[in-house]
Amino acid sequence: MEFDAPITVSRRCWREDIGYACDRGRGSGHAMKRHSLDLELQSFGPNVRLALVLIAAGGFFTWIFLEGAREFHSVTAWLFFYLVGACSGLLILRHLVFRVWVHESGILYRGIFGVGEILWRDFDKIYYCTYDITFHFVTLGVFHRLTFITKRGLKLSIGERLYGSGDLAELIQSYTLPEMMRKAVHEFERGAQLDFGAIRLSRKNGVKYQNWWFWHEIRWENLSKYGVSDTHVNLSADNKLLGANIRAEKVANVHVLEELLDRVKKKTLNVAT
């Protein structure tokens, strides 16, 4: 059974972001503080670019409703103006307040409704992908989607709210990999099916993936190559004419999936053939 080398994603850890330096003050960007989650390693603040977009959009729509209220002089028009203004202000405040701190034992996050923490061992599913937005064939930039689901069912969506979401995703993947791999290998070896969302692995049945509404199966002996990146997961089989190209946002824990496929490739993880 032959495999092509998978696509690897570089990890650029320990890079200080702008919000972190501003929080610490000049000359103290590398200092570490102690919290309930041990030493703080890095901080991620709000995305300034998105904040400016929200402020501009909120100001524009608020101005439109203000002009409408002045024009019609009705209670309903003024209520709509106050409602749009309040919603715009809350949306901007929600974005500016949000922050994530990475610690040795987990993450601490602050939102508009308070502060929470997630230990590394409590992470259950991590969804991360990058995508481009184009307008009239002009690429506006690379954007990120990042969502966590804990073992207790807590769901935290970050997306573009933070500056450096890609670096945060890489840090979280590196810290959660050992515990997630230990659990995944144990379940894989005892014959359980591992659920990665749109992809499932089984020691006996091989790889299953969802394409539209249907599930397809690739036996281990037929899996010819695979690739894992921030945008897609690619799977190819000897007995299939076309390969599978699955969007990364539909696949949970791609770092664990890639490590498992690597171990199967290196024959350090036994499968049924």
Are 106 and 117 contacting, i.e. CB atoms less than 8 angstroms apart?
yes
pLDDT at 22 over 60: no
List b or e across 226-243, with b for residues whose CB sees 16 or more CB atoms inside 10 angstroms. Answer: bbbbbbbbbbbbeeeeee
Average pLDDT over residues 67-96: 92
pLDDT tens digits along 167-176? 999 999 999 9
Average pLDDT over residues 161-165: 86
pLDDT at 142 over 70: yes
Residue 198 has a pLDDT of: 94
pLDDT tens digits along 246-267? 999 999 999 999 999 999 999 8
Does 34 or 222 have the greater pLDDT score? 222
Residue 25 has a pLDDT of: 36
Q: Is 225 helix (H, G, I), strand (E, B) or coil?
A: strand
Are 83 and 76 contacting, i.e. CB atoms less than 8 angstroms apart?
no
Are 96 and 111 contacting, i.e. CB atoms less than 8 angstroms apart?
no
Q: By mean pLDDT, which of 40-44, 78-82, 152-156, 187-191 is the weakest?
A: 40-44
Our CA dihedral for 230, 232, 234, 240, rounded to 10 degrees, sits at 180
* Amino acid sitting at position 183: K
pLDDT tens digits along 86-138? 999 999 999 999 999 999 899 999 988 889 999 999 999 999 998 876 766 66
CATH of domain 18-46+98-182: 2.30.29.30
In whole numbers, what is the pLDDT of the chain averaged over residues?
Answer: 83
**pLDDT classification of 23: cutoffs 50, 70, 90:** very low
Are 105 and 119 contacting, i.e. CB atoms less than 8 angstroms apart?
yes
**Vertex 122 angle, CA 116 and 128, to 5°:** 85
How many other CB atoms are found less than 10 A from the CB of residue 172?
22
Average pLDDT over residues 161-190: 92
Query: What is this structure's pTM?
Result: 0.77
Residue 48 has a pLDDT of: 86
Q: Which stretches of the chain are assigned E, i.e. beta strand?
A: 34-35, 38-44, 99-103, 106-111, 114-119, 123-135, 138-150, 155-157, 194-195, 199-202, 206-211, 214-218, 223-228, 232-237, 244-247
Separation between Cα atoms, residue 78 and residue 83, nearest integer Å? 9
In the sheet that 223-228 helps form, which strands lie side by side, from edge to edge?
A: 223-228, 232-237, 244-247
CA 39 from centroid of its chain's CA atoms: 23
Residue 143 has a pLDDT of: 80
pLDDT at 181 over 70: yes
Residue 113 has a pLDDT of: 86
Residue 248 has a pLDDT of: 92
How many other CB atoms are found less than 10 A from the CB of residue 162?
25
The Cβ-side half-sphere exposure at 44, using a 13 Å CA radius, reads 29
Average pLDDT over residues 15-22: 35
Our CA dihedral for 264, 265, 267, 271, rounded to 10 degrees, sits at 40
Tokens representing residue 229 in the block? 């990146």
Separation between Cα atoms, residue 230 and residue 173, nearest integer Å? 12
